[in-house]
Amino acid sequence: MWKRILSYLATVYLLSACGSGSETAGLPEQVEVPITTSPPVVELQSKPEITYSSSLQDDIVSFVEVAQQIRFFYPSDSVANTHWDVFIAEAIVKLSQMSKQERLAESFQILHSIAPHISLGVTIPNEPSEESRVSSWLANSSSDDSVFTRKLISGTYKSLQGDIRHAQEWFFTTHLYNEPLHIPLYLNEHESSHGSIYNGYDTYDMSHSIDETELCMSAASHIWAEIQHFWPYFSEVDVNWKPEHKEMLSACLLEDPKDTWQTIFASMNLLQDQHISIHLPRHISPSRSFEWILPFRPYIVEGKAIITRIHPDALNLVELGDELVTIDNEPIEQVIERNAQVILTSEHNAKYRSLKSLFLRRDDTQIEATLKKVDGTTYTVLFEPLPISAMAQRYTGNRLVYRYDYMHKVLDEGVHHLVLYKLSQSALSQVREQLSSAKGIVIDLRHYPEDFFAWLHALGWFSSQEISSAPIYEHWQRAPNQSSSNVQRLFQFIQPKGELIDKPIVVLASRDSISQNEHALAYIQNAGLPIMGEATAGINGNIQEQSVFSGPDNGGVTFIYTGLQVTQNDGSSLIGVGIQPDMAVPISRESIVEGTDNQLTRAVEYILQQQ
């Protein structure tokens, strides 16, 4: 066990992502299966016109769901090297040309060409003998990289099944159009080389752009399937994900592609994962076709939409601290709620992120806004959005969550401000020496750290004992639908670094503290240091990034989601909740008006009270 822990610790210090990592232990007598490909050369037909009846849509969902299960769990060279997104897009067209009665046989034949050892009906695959050499997937992810593992492994059936990260059954039964279909999870080595590799369209002349209905369906299904098979938070987030597959595929039939992806965004928001991001070609993205901006920036402060920054061209229109009440006679609460449906967010931060995104506009149509001053006086202004290039000009007012450019500064009465998110490795020795004269220290973690190794080292200054991270779990997916996951905890520690800095300390956190911030804050909690400020964003764990049809620059899509599960220190949910401060100090409307950092001010007061 300790060998695994030490191996993991060696791995994690090579990472600079979201504060988590993984490792892969070697398996006896196992080698990776070699992979080869050869694209077919064929004369392609024009794609026919397709009418998507309700029956056809249901059959497509059933077919694609099985195809994705084979994609990720059938252990063969052909599966590993097939261009699945293209394969699924063209298969949808092929199925559309069949009658309802023909689709079962055609669907099975299409899948069987790549995975010839699947079986339909009552016949199940034979179980390999203990000493036979077999191939199987070892995977805690859909792809293999420095953090995550997905490898086609060869070894004896006994040795592979003896590793609890591998499938514990030799096959999985799913359903194709309500008929049982059996997918081998182990194949004899010679069988794993069987099957055709699908490299490109073999029948129809189709594009690689998700503007095309079938490619949109393929992309939506890919996104759904990655979540279905590899997203690690279903035990914490109450969501019925399976029905969303049909919702997402059906969205591709909507006339306006922006409506399509707005619908898909709504499905993704059910997951409450603030790492989730979907990058689309600009012309179809619900959230990227912006060329204009408001001349001021409103944020949620004290539960209201408060003006926090103003463009020079609008200084005669509004004032810092004014409350935005309506836009074009629509209450701002309704505007925020409506906008939250077209952005990717979570319930925990929906209002904040929705209002933040309202700053961006799609056109320069004149806007009428009603605002309210601190004394309750209301007034109405008419204004036109500015071109997005106007963002280059300096706005009056500060960022909502103060951001400092220095790493260290001495404040009033000997209190030191350590801006941990700015700290660099090259400055560690100098900053530590400066802190030796501090009467107390405010550690600032309100923004994402710029140097992973710097904060990791610096936190060792403030504890005389080893500090553990929050619980981190990798999920080894041994069968489709996470029906047989093996969940293993990963261990990370920070060791004391030199003589303990034993002074009054408080740590600042904010609504913008996310992922690696929260990883650091969990260490801070375990070190017994108090946290002040606001609840954090509520998501941690290394991300997965996948591109479909070569990403948005080539007409496709790139999507991101969280691939490791991280909880609070006590095992309760972090996702959608965030780390709660020991002392709640929200940003105040008064501080916006006065241009002060009320959180830092309160932190200094707290330090002085401890002396």
Is the dihedral angle over the CA atoms 459, 409, 435, 502 positive or is it negative? negative
The helix (H) or strand (E) run that includes residue 449 is none
Q: In the chain, which residues have pLDDT < 50?
A: 1-17, 19-38
Is the dihedral angle over the CA atoms 67, 68, 74, 79 positive or is it negative? positive
Cβ burial, residue 3 (10 Å; 0-12/13-18/19+): exposed
- Smallest CA-to-CA distance from 391 within 289, 292, 285, 282 is with 292
User: In this structure, are residues 237 and 576 in contact, taking their beta carbons and an 8 Å threshold?
Assistant: yes
Cα(403)–Cα(446) distance, integer angstroms: 8
23's torsion region: left (phi>0), alpha (psi -120 to 50) or beta?
beta
User: In this structure, are residues 265 and 344 in contact, taking their beta carbons and an 8 Å threshold?
Assistant: yes
498's torsion region: left (phi>0), alpha (psi -120 to 50) or beta?
left
Do β-strands 204-205 and 45-46 pair in parallel, antiparallel, or remain unpaired?
A: parallel
Q: Which residues, listed in sequence order, are joined to residue 367 by a DSSP beta bridge?
A: 383
In this structure, what token pair is assigned to residue 456?
């990791």
Is the dihedral angle over the CA atoms 267, 269, 270, 272 positive or is it negative? positive
Domain locations in the chain as residue ranges: 27-219, 408-610
Place of tokens 């490792």: 23
DSSP one-letter code for 53 = -
pLDDT score recorded for residue 289: 66
CB-based contacts of 558-561 (< 8 A; 24+ apart in sequence) = 558/278, 558/279, 559/223, 559/226, 559/276, 559/277, 559/278, 559/279, 560/275, 560/276, 560/277, 560/278, 561/226, 561/227, 561/231, 561/271, 561/273, 561/275, 561/276
CB-based contacts of 252-261 (< 8 A; 24+ apart in sequence) = 252/213, 252/216, 252/217, 252/220, 253/52, 253/57, 253/213, 257/210, 257/211, 257/216, 257/283, 257/284, 258/284, 258/285, 258/286, 258/289, 260/216, 260/284, 261/285, 261/286
Cα(300)–Cα(534) distance, integer angstroms: 13
pLDDT score recorded for residue 361: 86
* Helix 257-269 / helix 213-230 crossing angle, nearest 10 deg: 10
All residues at 6 or more sequence positions from 523 whose CB lies less than 8 Å from its CB, including other chains: 459, 467, 468, 469, 470, 494
In this structure, what token pair is assigned to residue 481?
């639908």
DSSP one-letter code for 396 = B
Cα(239)–Cα(393) distance, integer angstroms: 44
Q: What share of the chain is helix, strand, coil (3-state, %, to 5)?
A: 35, 20, 45
* Helix 84-96 / helix 54-73 crossing angle, nearest 10 deg: 150
Distances from the Cα of 274 to the Cα of 83, 209, 555, 565, angstroms: 29, 27, 25, 13
User: In this structure, are residues 592 and 305 in contact, taking their beta carbons and an 8 Å threshold?
Assistant: no
What's the angle, vertex CA 360, arms to CA 354 and CA 364, rounded to 5? 135
The number of beta carbons lying within 10 Å of the beta carbon of residue 292 is: 17
Cα(203)–Cα(273) distance, integer angstroms: 39
What's the angle, vertex CA 555, arms to CA 551 and CA 558, rounded to 5? 25
In this structure, what token pair is assigned to residue 294?
């408001």
Q: Which residues, listed in sequence order, are joined to residue 323 by a DSSP beta bridge?
A: 306, 372
Sheet holding 557-562, edge to edge: 277-279, 557-562, 543-548
What is the number of helices (H) and of strands (E) in the chain? Answer: 16, 32
Would you tell me which CATH number, out of the four given (3.40.640.10, 3.30.70.980, 3.40.50.300, 3.90.226.10), belongs to the domain 408-610? 3.90.226.10
User: In this structure, are residues 96 and 55 in contact, taking their beta carbons and an 8 Å threshold?
Assistant: no
All residues at 6 or more sequence positions from 392 whose CB lies less than 8 Å from its CB, including other chains: none
All residues at 6 or more sequence positions from 88 whose CB lies less than 8 Å from its CB, including other chains: 64, 67, 68, 217, 218, 221, 222
The helix (H) or strand (E) run that includes residue 311 is none
pLDDT score recorded for residue 26: 35
The helix (H) or strand (E) run that includes residue 213 is helix 213-230
What's the angle, vertex CA 38, arms to CA 35 and CA 41, rounded to 5? 160
Cα(267)–Cα(422) distance, integer angstroms: 36
